[in-house]
């Protein structure tokens, strides 16, 4: 049965990817903004897309799973009433995320909610297609909604954009997304994009409660009037993050974080090799805030 489901997932996304490729070949890049296209952007960052390569999924802790690529994260929170998917990745990851979900024994059709860390193409380029396939509700912070619904990237990175996404729920910092006994809390951490989000997932394994954080302190922009992040919003983010006490942290580009740990992660070794050291979370925030204050002073 699982083999059949896996094959179906590959076929569905192969069709989706082939359709997108054909469209690009016949029309040019349909998401091009201001004359910028995929070739322009990849030339600008001067690297091929080596971050979207397939990687075997693994259980992070409890009912929370890593279903992303080798260096672009996608997180699944699996519940009896349906699943929450955080970030979906690039077009190339169309052949990664769904098959990984199936490998873990879950049904992609059961995705009920999708969340977005931030509106850069590499983290949500496939989200609208997955929304149409699954009927899931996309929820996002209010500050990120303009980018999502228009298809424009309003962050400093100036990527070419993405297919406009239908947003079904607008979130505020501190909101909780609840489904099937699981809770995901969102905190607004602006800077990398106007509506960058950090998510905290509570989960239970072997009778013990754990908190997983996806994201981290804000990455505010200073010295660029077009993109500068409002200091008050950043300091509010630091204060909200300090109230949390996560045990495990996952980042959007986790290849370095996973280096040397994948065998243990696939084996579900405990304690998890991703467990943070005591005080590590507080130090991370303190260092980020100190750096921001220094840049403001300059």
CB-CB neighbours of 2 under 10 Å: 10
Is 6 within the bounds of a domain? yes
List Cα–Cα distances, 221 to 191, 224, 246, 294, 296, in angstroms.
6, 7, 26, 12, 10
pLDDT at residue 32 in the model: 43
130 with 100: CB under 8 angstroms? no
pLDDT at residue 40 in the model: 54
Report the number of distinct structural domains present in the chain.
1
SS3 110: helix
Is 293 within the bounds of a domain? yes
| Sheet containing strand 176-179, strands side by side | 176-179, 182-188, 197-205, 208-214, 248-250
272 with 261: CB under 8 angstroms? no
pLDDT at residue 46 in the model: 54
Quick one: tokens of 188? Answer: 């607004």
Range of the domain at 90: 2-22+54-297
CA distance 244 to 82: 26
Is 142 within the bounds of a domain? yes
List Cα–Cα distances, 52 to 31, 42, 71, 95, in angstroms.
20, 14, 6, 10
SS3 54: coil
CA distance 23 to 15: 12
Is 44 within the bounds of a domain? no
pLDDT at residue 48 in the model: 65
Is 43 within the bounds of a domain? no
Is 27 within the bounds of a domain? no
Q: In CATH, what number is assigned to the domain containing residue 97? A: 3.60.15.10
pLDDT at residue 133 in the model: 94
pLDDT at residue 28 in the model: 37
SS3 133: helix
pLDDT along the chain (298 residues), means of 10: 45 44 36 48 63 96 98 98 96 93 97 96 92 97 95 77 92 98 98 96 97 97 91 98 98 97 98 97 98 95
Is 46 within the bounds of a domain? no
Is 35 within the bounds of a domain? no
Helices (H), the chain: 2-27, 38-45, 97-103, 121-124, 127-134, 145-150, 231-242, 255-258, 262-266, 280-297
CA distance 192 to 220: 6
């Amino acid at each position: 049965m699982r083999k059949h489901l896996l094959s179906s997932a590959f076929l569905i996304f192969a069709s989706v990817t082939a359709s997108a490729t054909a469209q690009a070949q016949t029309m040019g890049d349909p998401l091009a903004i201001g004359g910028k296209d995929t070739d322009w952007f990849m030339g600008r960052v001067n690297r091929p897309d080596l971050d979207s390569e397939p990687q075997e999924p693994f259980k992070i802790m409890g009912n929370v799973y890593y279903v992303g690529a080798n260096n672009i994260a996608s997180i699944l929170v699996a519940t009896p009433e349906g699943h929450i998917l955080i970030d979906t990745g690039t077009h190339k990851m169309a052949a990664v995320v769904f098959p990984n979900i199936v490998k873990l024994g879950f049904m992609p059709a059961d995705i009920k909610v999708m969340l977005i860390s931030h509106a850069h193409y590499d983290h949500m380029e496939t989200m609208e297609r997955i929304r149409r396939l699954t009927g899931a509700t996309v929820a996002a912070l209010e500050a990120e909604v303009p980018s999502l619904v228009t298809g424009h990237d309003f962050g400093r990175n100036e990527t070419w954009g993405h297919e406009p996404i239908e947003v079904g729920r607008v979130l505020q910092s501190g909101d909780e997304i609840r489904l099937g006994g699981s809770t995901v809390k969102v905190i607004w951490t602006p800077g990398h994009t106007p509506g960058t989000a950090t998510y905290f997932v509570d989960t239970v394994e072997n009778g013990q409660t754990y908190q997983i954080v996806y994201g981290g302190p804000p990455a505010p922009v200073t010295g660029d009037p077009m993109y500068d992040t409002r200091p008050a919003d950043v300091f509010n983010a630091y204060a909200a993050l300090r109230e949390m006490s996560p045990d495990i942290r996952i980042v959007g580009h986790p290849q370095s974080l996973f280096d040397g740990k994948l065998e243990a992660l696939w084996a579900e070794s405990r304690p998890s090799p991703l467990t943070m050291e005591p005080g590590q979370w507080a130090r991370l925030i303190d260092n980020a805030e100190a750096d921001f204050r220094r840049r403001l002073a300059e």
